[in-house]
Amino acid sequence: MDALRDNLHATDKAYGKDIMVVETAYPHHGRFTQKPGDWSHERMAWPISPQGQRAFLVELIKTVRRTTDGRGIGVLYWYPESIPVEGLRVWCEGAMALFDEHGKALPAVKAFQP
């Protein structure tokens, strides 16, 4: 988040335009980590869990809102509905979705409430 914070400040200073963070995501389960080359638990700043996903989003949204001059205007979560569906390949096996495999909203959804 420190690097993002610095980048948001520098972007505001250089361009003076509103800024959105887009195509962000964070895993709520680690099933996808079993494949070679995938992210590992050791490299993630927050736990790979529903609570870790929520903590990431809370911190991200807070960081964007604190962009200088009020230029941080939002966060767009990438493919929040990517839950596993039988017969279809789903991005990261649904690990990044904001919903569980039954379509129930995970705690991270509440991070978007004002």
Per-residue pLDDT band for 89 (boundaries 50, 70, 90) equals: confident
Per-residue pLDDT band for 91 (boundaries 50, 70, 90) equals: confident
The SS3 of residue 18 is coil
The SS3 of residue 17 is coil
Residue range 75-84: average pLDDT?
Answer: 94
pLDDT of residue 37: 52
Distances (CA, A) of 15 to 5, 20, 23, 111: 16, 13, 21, 28
Question: Got the DSSP string for 28-92?
Answer: S--GGGGSTTS--GGG-SS-SSHHHHHHHHHHHHHHHHTSGGG-EEEEEES-TT----TTS--GG
Domain ranges of the chain: 2-112
pLDDT tens digits, 40-73? 555 778 999 999 999 999 999 999 999 999 999 9
Q: How far apart are CA 24 and CA 46, in angstroms?
A: 14
